[in-house]
Amino acid sequence: MTFLGAFAIFFAAIFTNNILLTNYLGMCSFISVSREIKTSVGLGAAVTFVMALTSAINWAVYHYLLVPHLVYLRFIVFIVVIAAFVQIVEMIIERVSDVLYAALGIFLPLITVNCAILGVSLFMVIRDYTFIQSFAFGLGSGLGWMLAIIAMAGIRQKINKSPIPKGLEGAGITLIIAGIMAMAFVGFSGMIAIG
Amino acid sequence: MLTELLSAVGILSAVSAVLSLLMVIADRTIANYGEVTLIVNDEKKFTFQGGRSLLSALTEQEIFIPSACGGRGSCGFCKVKVLDGAGDYLPTELPHISAEERNENIRLSCQLKVKKNMRVEIPADLFNVKQFRGVVTSIKDLTYDIKEIVIRLVDPKEISFKAGQYIQLQTPAYDLADEAVYRAYSASSPPSQKDTVELEIRRVPNGICTTWVHDYLKEGDEVLMNGPYGEFYLRETNRNIVFIAGGSGNAPIKSILMDMAEKNIKRKTVYFFGARTSKDLFLQEEMRVFEEKLADFTYIPALSDPVDEDKWEGETGLITDVIDRRLDMGEETEAYLCGSPGMIAACIKVLTAKGIPEELIYYDKFA
């Protein structure tokens, strides 16, 4: 049952409860890095990796250290854990592979301040997920975020040559597209219920 | 209540401490590449902590690789030939590297990190020279055909040079020049004045750079130059000094004199300055001031063709004749000459006849 639950949460996090398009989290890097599909894939992969692992680490920190008396400290503790984790991952990638570092490394500092990462850890607490479910939720949310940014990059590459009103160029049109995408994703809602 | 508060503080501190410890350990182990050695052109050897970009490592050793974008990997100027110690090409390098350059191991030094011992090859002329961007803050006439221009340095903001050295000023393409050209001018400002460079530029009929400076250049214009260059600077000895200059050849001598005054160098010094008429003389007051500032300094201007209205009471005749008459410093003397090749050749003859060995005669020839 737990396993099935985790599976459902994984898919729900990608489609019905996409953290970017239904919760509108992680907007900053979503808008600034979605100009090209190639860089979007890089950032998406890095976000997925960090989200999956930090949700697992934060689950352990929350349940073994903060419960029962100190749950109000979760905001600070989660942020600190995420920041430290990202730093160490960056060092490891740099050491192990220059090519992977060139592809992912530049995005890692951006991720430290990506609110979607903190959002995943906080939802996991609110929805009272088990460890497996939290990991599945983190992984699914990361993939969902990646899906959304790649879709956005595809659209932005297409509209590059389109006549866009001057005032809407750049972030303006991107926000409108994100809104339309979010509406499209509403079509998935209700298929799977989580939390 | 108190225990809860204390445990909150305790747990938070513990979490922070553990994470900090992890970071420190990671920094010491994962991110520690140890000391690496960088060998440049098989001559120079530098040792430093590994893990930084090749460009910043070279810049720290005062080897300036051109880089217009400042190391962001967008201009592609900072190419360096890496003989060994580099890994595979990075995706961020590839847009700037041609297949030919790949075969020669040309790398983009701002992207390449030095993680182990590395050997690189850099063109020798890049070693000392820097490119400067500056703004002309003043242009003033010293004589009817010599202008003094003052350039305030913008990037880099400071220059270090030895008094007497020259820079190359860029003349952009204009009516007389199809493409940008560089011409050499000695700084007339002292080395202690690091944020500006002063030049004395004499109009040469149809000269590409001098015409541009005299007729086109305005205050507030941006100029490019590079340098410093040259072996024309005061040697650190205790010998007497003879300076000989004509026209704008005054510039490096003035720089050296100002430097001597600041450093309180008390060597016996004489300065012969040759001109045609009093119209060609300039900065006379400043030179007289040096006679007071310096311990033992004589300024001897000489006119070769004084006209009546000059009311000239100083030395007359060719500069060589004046030197022959007035110079009496013995053999323990160094000479510094700046002027036209003809003047320099004639002066060397007179000086050697006076017993000054040729190897102690230093000069800057302006063709």
pLDDT tens per residue, range B312-363: 888 898 999 999 999 888 878 999 999 888 889 999 999 999 889 988 999 8
pLDDT digit string, tens, across residues B39-85 = 998 888 999 888 888 988 887 786 767 665 556 777 777 889 999 88
Looking at the structure, tell me whether residues B266 and B324 fall in a common domain.
Answer: yes
CATH of the domain at B162: 2.40.30.10
The string of DSSP letters for B84-98 reads ES--SPPTTTGGG--
Q: Is residue B5 part of a domain?
A: no
Q: For residue B27, what is the nearest residue in chain A, using CA coordinates?
A: A91
Tokens 């217009």 — which residue? Answer: B68
pLDDT digit string, tens, across residues B161-218 = 889 988 878 888 888 877 667 778 899 999 999 999 999 999 988 888 889 999 999 9
Looking at the structure, tell me whether residues B139 and B119 fall in a common domain.
Answer: no
Q: pLDDT at position A2, please?
A: 57
**Contact status, residue A71 vs residue A62, Cβ threshold 8 Å:** yes
pLDDT digit string, tens, across residues B127-173 = 767 888 999 999 999 999 999 999 999 988 889 888 998 887 888 88
**Any A CB within 8 A of B88 CB:** yes
More confident residue, B229 or A135: A135
Q: Is residue B304 part of a domain?
A: yes
**Any B CB within 8 A of A96 CB:** no
CA angle B280, B284, B286 (to 5 degrees): 140
Q: pLDDT at position A149, please?
A: 93
**Any B CB within 8 A of A99 CB:** yes
Q: pLDDT at position B311, please?
A: 84
Q: For residue A94, what is the nearest residue in chain B, using CA coordinates?
A: B31
CB contact under 8 Å between B15 and A92, yes or no, is: no
Average pLDDT, integer, range B206-233: 87
Looking at the structure, tell me whether residues B266 and B349 fall in a common domain.
Answer: yes
How many Å lie between the alpha carbon of B244 and the closest alpha carbon of chain A?
59
Average pLDDT across chain A, whole number? 86
Which among A84, A94, A99 has the least Cβ separation from residue B91?
A99
Q: pLDDT at position B126, please?
A: 66
* Composition of chain B by helix, strand, coil, percent to 5: 30, 30, 40
Final residue belonging to a domain, choices B170, B196, B229: B229
Looking at the structure, tell me whether residues B148 and B53 fall in a common domain.
Answer: no
Looking at the structure, tell me whether residues B224 and B299 fall in a common domain.
Answer: no
How many Å lie between the alpha carbon of B100 and the closest alpha carbon of chain A?
21
- Give the DSSP letter of residue B53: E
Looking at the structure, tell me whether residues B208 and B143 fall in a common domain.
Answer: yes
Q: Is residue B65 part of a domain?
A: yes
Final residue belonging to a domain, choices B209, B229, B249: B229
Indicate the burial class of B205 (C-beta count within 10 angstroms; 0-12, 13-18, 19 or more): exposed
pLDDT at A1 over 50: no
**Any B CB within 8 A of A36 CB:** no
Which among B4, B31, B92 has the least Cβ separation from residue A95?
B31
For B298-313, letters b (16+ CB in 10 Å) and e give: ebbbbbbebeeeeebe
| Residue B356 domain boundaries | 240-365
Average pLDDT, integer, range A103-116: 77
Cα–Cα distance measured from residue B307 to residue A164, given in angstroms and rounded to the nearest whole number: 76
Q: pLDDT at position B260, please?
A: 93
Average pLDDT, integer, range B276-304: 90
Looking at the structure, tell me whether residues B102 and B77 fall in a common domain.
Answer: yes
**Any B CB within 8 A of A184 CB:** no
Q: pLDDT at position A28, please?
A: 83
Mutate to test the interface with B, among A71, A91, A108 (most CBs of B within 10 A): A91
Looking at the structure, tell me whether residues B224 and B255 fall in a common domain.
Answer: no
User: Which chain B residues are within 8 Å of A94, Cβ to Cβ?
Assistant: 31, 51, 113
For B119-133, letters b (16+ CB in 10 Å) and e give: bbbbeeeeeeebebe
User: Which chain B residues are within 8 Å of A102, Cβ to Cβ?
Assistant: 90-92, 111
Looking at the structure, tell me whether residues B267 and B360 fall in a common domain.
Answer: yes
Looking at the structure, tell me whether residues B204 and B219 fall in a common domain.
Answer: yes
CA angle B21, B24, B30 (to 5 degrees): 125
CATH of the domain at B61: 3.10.20.30
**Any B CB within 8 A of A171 CB:** no
Final residue belonging to a domain, choices B109, B126, B143: B126
For A173, residues 6+ apart whose C-beta sits below 8 A from its C-beta are: A159, A164
Tokens 């000989």 — which residue? Answer: B244
Q: Is residue B212 part of a domain?
A: yes
Looking at the structure, tell me whether residues B315 and B222 fall in a common domain.
Answer: no
Angle of the A2-14 helix axis to the A131-159 helix axis, nearest 10 = 20
Residue A107 banded pLDDT, cuts 50, 70, 90: confident
pLDDT digit string, tens, across residues A154-180 = 999 988 888 888 888 888 899 999 999
Q: Is residue B3 part of a domain?
A: no
The partner residues of B130 in beta bridges, in order of sequence, read B227
CB pairs under 8 A between A and B: 54
Q: Is residue B19 part of a domain?
A: no
Tokens 């160490």 — which residue? Answer: A88
How many Å lie between the alpha carbon of B127 and the closest alpha carbon of chain A?
29
Q: Is residue B9 part of a domain?
A: no
Q: For residue A74, what is the nearest residue in chain B, using CA coordinates?
A: B12
pLDDT digit string, tens, across residues A29-73 = 888 888 888 888 888 888 898 999 999 999 999 999 888 778 888
CB contact under 8 Å between A73 and B22, yes or no, is: no
CATH of the domain at B347: 3.40.50.80
Q: Is residue B2 part of a domain?
A: no
Total domains present in chain B: 3
Cα–Cα distance measured from residue B129 to residue B156, given in angstroms and rounded to the nearest whole number: 12
Looking at the structure, tell me whether residues B60 and B108 fall in a common domain.
Answer: yes
User: Which chain B residues are within 8 Å of A65, Cβ to Cβ?
Assistant: 11, 15
CB contact under 8 Å between A98 and B30, yes or no, is: no
Q: pLDDT at position A166, please?
A: 87
Residue B220 banded pLDDT, cuts 50, 70, 90: very high
Q: pLDDT at position A111, please?
A: 82
Q: pLDDT at position B44, please?
A: 86
User: Which chain A residues are within 8 Å of B11, Cβ to Cβ?
Assistant: 65-66, 70, 73
3-class DSSP assignment, residue B316:
strand
